[in-house]
Amino acid sequence: MALTLDYNFNGVVIPDAYISVFRYQGNKDWMKTDFGVYLTQEPGSTQIHSFGENVPLDLEGGNPVAQAYEWLKTQPGFESAVDC
């Protein structure tokens, strides 16, 4: 699972950028999640940006990585992200 989005990086829009979780850790309440933004979803694609977020975690909410993607889609600038 990952997301695609026309991603604005320093004023340059990257069409259909690929956003994926590459690291996560946490406890029963939150999960520190690191996302990578790539030019494409092809293996070996160039990572153009990365960022970390503290994502709220619901222990009964299923897969924690899927929860991170769903949470990210609610954040400003990511509302139009699409699952891929």
Q: What is the pLDDT of residues 20-64, one digit of tens each?
A: 999 999 988 899 999 999 999 999 999 999 999 999 999 998 999
Q: For the chain, which residues make up each domain, given as ranges?
A: 3-83
- Band (pLDDT 50/70/90 cuts) for residue 77 is very high
pLDDT value, residue 70: 97
HEC readout, the chain: CCEEEEEEECCEEEEEEEEEEEEEEECCCEEEEEEEEECCCCCCCCEEEEEEEEEECCCCCCCHHHHHHHHHCCCCCCCCCEEC
pLDDT value, residue 11: 94
- pTM for the complete prediction? 0.92
